[in-house]
Structure 1
Amino acid sequence: MTSTFTLSRSITTSVRVAAVAVAAVSVLLAGCGKKDEKKAASQTAARVNKEEITVHQINHVLASQRGLAPEQAASASRQVLEKLIDQELAVQKAGEQKIDRDPRVVAQVDAARREIIARAYIEKIGAGAPKPSPEEIKKYYDENPALFRERRVYNLQEIVIEAKPEQLDDLRTRLQSSKDINDFVAYLKANSVKFGANQAVRAAEQLPLARLESIAQMKDGQAQFVPTSRGAQVLVLVSSRSQPVDEDRAKGPIETYLINERKRKVIEDDLKSLRSAAKIEYVGDFVPTAKPATAASATEVKLTKSPLTSTPASAPEPILPVQPASMPTGTTLEQGIKGLK
């Protein structure tokens, strides 16, 4: 069980319709215990045949629309209501045709219910994470100069190579003996080694944190050779420029990042505790098998600064993600620092 729960994008329209029906019924049931019937009636936005669509349902949809200006609320509410009316009509028709009893629909609605409940639990656990103190924020700033005080923007080239483990030593040696990256690429082509090339400009916070320290130590024109599960990656630092972020501007992004890291840790620890207390038995093909761990070591190589001709990738494994997986989605240091430029 992981800390993130995702729904399959392949859920059919009928499933979404059925899910709306479940939500609508929940809202209606929640209002049944109210003593003030007139007040409850005032929450009705529309009636579709015998079923009601409530203001609560509209507000629930609006709450998920970020950045909605106050002056747009009225028109947005009407648009949402019209969509909910269409959905309710589809739900009613689906009920007449017994689509809601289709085993596939029942299974997917149950999966949606499980995801919603599990996500709510995860969010509740994460909400208990403490905020970082000013001292902790300053400490993070001081301990990560590559992200702030010594922050750089990197012009990087990478070559993704398909190779067998026994070929890696030869490739590493060949890279070290090459006069420049173009010479190494020529060797790959001459020996029919499959590879792909990529080039990108990335700020420090856009790189994986696990690689940032080693990349920050590179000088312009140097390269790294890193073994991968499918071969190797050669990362070339073509050029870089200094673009530091001072402590005052970094406080907000650091606080956001540390809060999310703490939430992740709290959730991770809680799930580990739940797993240790539960009886989990894997069966059949799902019985885990031990795999030997292989540590990838990077080799730094000095090269001249030569542009790399772009080559179509046969099996790309980019290490320059637009959004680093090592930082929490939606609230990264990358986003915060971009806003400070």
Structure 2
Amino acid sequence: MIVAAAASIQLAACGKKDDPAGQVVATVNGTEITTSELQAEAEALQANLQDPAARRQVLELVVQRQLQAAAAKERGLDKDPRFLAQRRRAEQYILAQMYLMAAGAGADDVDMRQARSFIMRNPALFDERQVLVVDRLGFAPAKALSKAEVAAVATMAEAERLLLAKGIRFERRSAVVDPTDLPPKVADNLVKMKDGVVFYDSQGDNGMFGAILERRPEPVPMTEQLSRASEILKRQKRQEAVEAAARDLRKRAKISYQAGYGPVGSSAKPR
């Protein structure tokens, strides 16, 4: 546990003070920490606030960060261009995520007819469901490998040797994958893949080589199929709404790039 020394920290008694952002759980040199802030920190750490020990640990992390942030401001570091750029990026990222969540909200109406039709069209996700054991090799950054290097990998052993030769840190482990947790098209492609065949995927800075080791038949019980199908369709509709909103934003926006910075094939010119 991190201990914050020489600080004015007071735990607030339950029910004594309310704040628009949540009940105050502590103050640090006069600055309040609320339950909303504590909850956000716990979600980022995947910590359980119902556990008193975990709750105290999470709160101490918030306290320590607040002390450090205050000290940085005293040194004028909040005026540093690097901080300003990072703050702008963080604000944009959070607002963008909130916008996408709002865009997907309310776009997930699914009726029983649609759910039954989906079950009939996707037997591999229900009556014929197979849970897959996948040999997974994750690494970062994904851009450390060229497309040619990725395409040349035929086995997981080759993938591991390639990453070792290039000095790229990686983690190799087996993972159980339930196709019903994946987008339908991704699930369908994965289920049809032959065992042992290496596939590659990347998301952001993270890259992954994988190969199916084992298939375990686990049909979805009839009593759960409709609810499972409805949830898959809801996720799919939310994702489609989010993608449509993103396309609409770009369509309506006026965007210009400096030469050499625009998308491939664009007619970007110096401004």
* TM band (smaller chain): 0.5 to 0.7
RMSD: 4.4
Query: Once the two structures are aligned, what percentage of the paired residues are identical?
Result: 26
Match of 2:140 in 1: none
TM-score (norm 1): 0.48
Instruction: Please give the per-residue CA displacement for 1:105-138, whole angstroms capped at 9, x wherever unaligned.
Output: 1100111011111111111111121331122111
Match of 1:46 in 2: 26
Does the aligned pair in 1 maintain the 2:132–2:212 contact within 8 Å? yes
- CA separation of 1:47 and 1:257: change in aligned 2, threshold 3 A: same
Q: How many aligned residue pairs are there?
A: 208
Are 2:108 and 1:108 equivalent residues in the alignment?
A: no
- CA separation of 1:156 and 1:115: change in aligned 2, threshold 3 A: closer
Q: What is the distance in 2 between the residues matched to 1:43 and 1:255?
A: 37
List gaps (5 residues or longer) in structure 2: 1-15, 136-145, 158-173, 200-210, 267-271
Are 2:67 and 1:92 equivalent residues in the alignment?
A: no
Are 2:197 and 1:197 equivalent residues in the alignment?
A: no
- Kindly state the Cα deviation for residue 289 of structure 1 after the two structures are TM-superposed: 3.3
SS in 1 for 2:124: coil
- CA separation of 1:197 and 1:129: change in aligned 2, threshold 3 A: same
Q: What is the distance in 1 between the residues matched to 2:108 and 2:115?
A: 13
Q: What is the distance in 2 between the residues matched to 1:56 and 1:154?
A: 38
Are 2:214 and 1:244 equivalent residues in the alignment?
A: no
SS in 2 for 1:130: coil
SS in 1 for 2:155: strand
Does the aligned pair in 1 maintain the 2:17–2:24 contact within 8 Å? no
Does the aligned pair in 2 maintain the 1:154–1:239 contact within 8 Å? yes
Instruction: Please give the per-residue CA displacement for 1:16-42, whole angstroms capped at 9, x wherever unaligned.
Output: xxxxxxxxxxxxxxxxxxxxx975599
- Kindly state the Cα deviation for residue 147 of structure 1 after the two structures are TM-superposed: 2.2
Name the amino acid aligned to 1:279: K
- Kindly state the Cα deviation for residue 196 of structure 1 after the two structures are TM-superposed: 3.1
Selected match of 1:144 from 111, 122, 125 = 122
SS in 2 for 1:286: coil
- CA separation of 1:49 and 1:141: change in aligned 2, threshold 3 A: same
- Kindly state the Cα deviation for residue 51 of structure 1 after the two structures are TM-superposed: 2.8
List gaps (5 residues or longer) in structure 1: 1-36, 165-193, 227-235, 292-341
Alignment of 1:120-199 (within 5 A): 120-152=98-130, 195-198=153-156
Structure showing greater relative contact order (alpha-carbon pairs closer than 8 Å, 6 or more residues apart): 1
Match of 1:301 in 2: none
Does the aligned pair in 2 maintain the 1:43–1:54 contact within 8 Å? yes
- Kindly state the Cα deviation for residue 204 of structure 1 after the two structures are TM-superposed: 7.5
Does the aligned pair in 2 maintain the 1:46–1:53 contact within 8 Å? yes
- CA separation of 1:143 and 1:103: change in aligned 2, threshold 3 A: same
Does the aligned pair in 2 maintain the 1:61–1:80 contact within 8 Å? yes
TM-score (norm 2): 0.59
Match of 2:254 in 1: 279
Selected match of 2:38 from 58, 65, 71 = 58
- Kindly state the Cα deviation for residue 151 of structure 1 after the two structures are TM-superposed: 3.2
Name the amino acid aligned to 1:77: R
